[in-house]
Amino acid sequence: MKSMSELDDLALVLRPDQILTGAAVARVYDSDAYSVDRSKPTAVVLPETNEEVAAVVKVCVKNQIPITPRGAGTGLSGGAMPALGGVVVSLKRMNKILEVDSVNRRMKAQAGCVNLDLTKAVSHLGLHFAPDPSSQSVSTLGGNIAENSGGPHTLKYGVTAPHILGVTFVDAEGKIYEIGGTAPNCPWPDFTMLVVGSEGTLGIVTEAWIKLTPLPAAVKTALAAFPSVRAASEAVSGVIGAGILPAALEMMDRNILVALEQAFGLKTPPGTEALLLVECDGEESAVEREMTLVAEVCHENHAIEFTLAKDEAERKKLWTARKKGVGAMGRLAPSIVTHDGVIPRSKLPEMLDYVYAVAAEFEIGVANLFHAGDGNLHPCFYFDDRDPKQVEAVVSAGEKIIRRCIELGGSVTGEHGIGVEKTELLLLQFSEDDLKLQALVPLIFGANEVINPCKVIPNQKGCIEHKKRWRGVAW
């Protein structure tokens, strides 16, 4: 870790209120929402302009101080954890909407804007920013771009990438670039698409031009209760197999329902083991037709109850189970780790059986709340992270599940990224040659060892020995 004197140069480029240091600050910024690994920064800086971000990067490069970009810190793979200490660059003060161009359905915003605020700013124009991670009331545009985030509506509208036209980007030497732009199709090579999903390892996104999507004319939401996870999983395949593309198709299992009942008094019909939330949107008549088919498929798969929201208030109520599920898990244990893997949808029943078997083998609690339509699993392990044995069990169980996702033809991550959590797991999915090719991307951008070290690329110099230390940092 660098000493304060080496950080003094920061005071030459920022005001004192833009530089935070001290034990409390180090504690708050030592992890993101993946609380298994922790590492304290020496300072947190809060730049307000592109030029200030560039100046901070130059100071850090000159003094060889590690830099970790940070949005809201809701990441679930340790991407915003300052793995080798140094300076956390928080984009939270860069939260202005810079330009709305409703005719061309696009908007320019700073990276620290909260996802939901982007939609709030244009909903009166009948538009919205379609990527909607479940953290959307907190997570930032910069974090969404860095993680190429998905969300409940990814099934129909896609992940973040297709909604980004261009970015303003500060590279790892402090140079400012405009990448991409306002036009929908960028000439090859498309560097914007290399920046999206790069998890802050290439540089810092400070602004972005985003696409705006028309709000649908009609939306219908239903909640179906099933007697087993298997029946609900089969209904998922049935809905897609019937040629319907719902806007959202989300599943919650028994343990999430237990937490929701304890936290918010949510009641489900007797015998319910899983809930499926289905939303269809589009033209009124098409939505009606699709929802009729969805109801038929659910009943064919033994749904105990099928509730169709009659109005907007009921629709919001049905979403409560999905939106408040992770928060409610706090009722079950002090900590949760939400894993993230992808499998072909048709493998859902077999994979969920496997998840429960692995949790039983490692003697940890598991609840599932996930984007079933995308085959994007989120086994949430609940445990006490003050007990090192439980932490190791959670990590080992997660690795076992990810291995099976790959065996079934899936992927190590659907939307939460690699961060520090999954660097070694990449070796399961990619060959040595694949990884060598991927390692060329940071070279194109002139990325150095200072910018977000130990993330994404496996076996980075100087990182292996730090792994144990991250896990040893106590509360």
Here the tokens at position 24 are 């409390």
Q: Is 291 exposed, middle or buried (0-12, 13-18, 19+ CB in 10 A)?
A: buried
Q: Is 180 helix (H, G, I), strand (E, B) or coil?
A: strand
Q: Which is nearer to ligand FAD, 66 or 79 (CB)?
A: 79
Among 134, 75, 409, 127, which Cα is nearest to 277's?
134
CB of 153 to ligand FAD, least distance (A): 10
Q: Which two tokens stand for residue 278?
A: 């289905």
- Residue nearer to ligand FAD on the CB measure, 95 or 396: 95
C-alpha torsion sign, points 449, 454, 456, 459: positive
Q: Is the dihedral of CA 23, 386, 400, 340 positive or negative?
A: negative
- Measured from the CB atom, the residue of 41 and 143 that comes closer to ligand FAD is 143
Q: How far is the CB of 127 from ligand FAD (least distance, A)?
A: 21
Pairing between strand 379-383 and 274-282? unpaired
Q: Which is nearer to ligand FAD, 199 or 385 (CB)?
A: 199
- Which residue ranges make up the site for ligand FAD (CB under 6 A)? 32-33, 68-76, 79-80, 91, 111, 133-135, 139-140, 142-144, 146-147, 149-151, 199-200, 204-205, 326, 415-416, 452
What six digits make up the tokens of 145? 């771009």
CB of 367 to ligand FAD, least distance (A): 13
What phi and psi, each to the nearest 5 degrees, are found at residue 27? Answer: -65, -45
CA distance 194 to 190: 7
| Pairwise CA distance, residues 426 & 413, whole Å | 9
Question: CA nearest 197: which of 410, 418, 7?
Answer: 418
Q: Of 152 and 216, which has the nearer Cβ to ligand FAD?
A: 152
- C-beta closer to ligand FAD: residue 143 or 453: 143
CB of 138 to ligand FAD, least distance (A): 7
Tell me how far apart the alpha carbons of residues 337 and 395 are, in angstroms, rounded to a whole number. 9
Q: Least separation, in Å, of the C-beta of 389 and ligand FAD?
A: 25
Residue 15 Cβ vs ligand FAD, minimum distance, rounded to whole Å? 20
Smallest distance from ligand FAD to CB 302, Å:
28
- Minimum CB distance to ligand FAD smaller for 84 or for 231: 84
